[in-house]
Structure 1
Amino acid sequence: MINEPLERLRAAARRTRELALNRAGTGLGHQDADDDVGTIGTDGALGFDPFPLLEALHRHGVRAVVIGQVAGIMHGSTELTGDLDLLWDGLPAHAPALAAAFATVHAQLMDEAGNPVPLVAESFLRPKVEFTSAGAGGDCCTPALPWGGLRVGEFLDRAITTADPSGLHVHYAAREDLIRMRRAIGRPKDLRRAAELESDPGQIAMEKRRQT
């Protein structure tokens, strides 16, 4: 049986790679993304493929929740992206498995100032660590990261889990929570994408019923 959220993500990743295929490198990284265009306009779009990391997280039993535009795409957003953002619970006991998963995709980590940090469990206990890998880069956040007053730790409990026929399980933020995150950040791309997600109130209502 086709898994629609994951198929939407696979199709979007293919379109991103095709779009960037013949484009010269920009020299722009994840944190250089334009507040309107987003990471589709950076070198993160080159070879973008979030699935190696998502599969590694699954294999290591890590419950990291996809947030940002990858989650938006899984909910049906038509905008492309060149990064993968994640939210996990930040518990020290879960950090070693997270580090092991990132190691399998040869990730490199940086602090919020862009300085390299070692790929060890302790590095993931920061409120946010940035990462790059062969397939995708982005942010890996804990609930300690300030998010405009939102209690994002609660979003972990409401996250949706989906699985494809191969057995891959992916967790992603519920639509209503993703909208709240977008509105709290408030950049032009976030407000535009929040409005897009809000354009299907029936889907939001269905997710609310599923969570109760």
Structure 2
Amino acid sequence: MIDEPLERLRAAVRRTRELALNRASTGLGHQDADDDVGTIGTDGALGFDPFPLLEALHRNGVRGVVIGQVAGIMHGSTELTGDLDLLWDGAPAHAPALAAAFTSVNAQLIDDKGDPVAMHPHSFLRPKVQFTSPGAGGDCCTPALPWGDLRAREFLERAITAVDPGGLEVHYVSREDLIRMRRAIGRPKDLRRADELDSFASARLARLDGGPRDGRWGGAGGG
């Protein structure tokens, strides 16, 4: 049986592709996302599928940790998304494997200004580099990125691993750390999604106290 977080993600990918199936291209990338609607309203949602890159990271032995709304979905969020954000340790020794994984899915790198960046291990040593690929685009970050008072390296240490029957391992940030990240960024979509994740803990406590149970997957998109 597929690990539940991966089952949630696969279901969300199907819903995203169905939602965007007949949508015309807008020319907007994940960097153009609205602070309320998110990347589900950009071209990133067209054909969105993070699994080829996640599988490539696994094949190449890269411990990239999923952050952002893909991680939120794996924790049960009902909002859809059109991008994949990753955090890795930034160690130079690990950069060649990271570059090999991205190369294998025909990804391209760009900087914050939208200018192309060479697909080279050294390029991943930047605090953040943006990427596009046939299945998913997003940000690939290291702990060197300014995270305010957050200790991003600890997010890597506390990350959770989901495994499917084929052996695919996907590492993703813990719910508590994702909430911290959301509240630190503070955009409308981040605060909304942090509240949603917080509500799951309240619901679990209610169930433990004998309250109503409702574990259904559902909800409208808007990530």
Please indicate the TM-score interval, normalised by the length of the shorter structure. over 0.9
**Structure 1: 4+ residue segments shifted above 3 A:** 202-205
Equivalent residue, structure 1, for 2:208: none
Cα shift at 1:2: 2.8
| Residue in structure 2 matched with residue 139 of structure 1 by the alignment | 139
| 1:39 aligned residue | 39
Q: Secondary structure at the match of 1:199?
A: helix
- Count residues in correspondence: 205
Q: Which runs of 5+ in 1 are unaligned?
A: 206-212
1:75 maps to 75
Superposed CA deviations along residues 38-81 of structure 1, whole A, max 9, x for unmatched, are: 00000000000000000000000000000000000000000000
Backbone CA RMSD of aligned residues: 1.2
User: Is 1:118 aligned to residue 121 of structure 2?
Assistant: no
Percent identical residues:
81
Aligned to 1:56: 56
Q: Corresponding residue for 2:221?
A: none
What is the TM-score normalised by the length of structure 2? 0.90
Partner amino acid, structure 2, of 1:92: P
Matched position secondary structure for 2:129: strand
What letter corresponds to residue 141 of structure 2 in structure 1? Answer: C
- Deviation for aligned residue 1:204: 8.8
The residue number in structure 1 matching 2:13 is 13
1:118-152 deviations in Å (ceiling 9; x for gaps): 00100000000000000000000000011222111
Larger Rg, first or second structure (1 or 2) = 2
1:164 aligns with 2:167: no
Seen in structure 2, the aligned counterparts of structure 1 residues 204 and 123 have a Cα distance that, compared at 3 Å, is: farther
Asked if the contact 1:108/1:133 (under 8 Å) is kept, the reply is yes
Summarize the Cα distance change of 1:64–1:78 in structure 2 as closer, same or farther, 3 Å threshold: same
Unaligned ranges ≥5, structure 2 = 206-223
Distance 1:64 1:203, change over 3 A: farther
State the alpha-carbon separation in 1 of the partners of residues 202 and 183 from structure 2: 20
Q: Distance in 2 between matches of 1:192 and 1:162?
A: 25
Change beyond 3 A, Cα 1:203–1:90: farther
The letter for the 2-side match of 1:106 is: N
Report which structure shows greater RCO (CA 8 Å, sep ≥6): 2
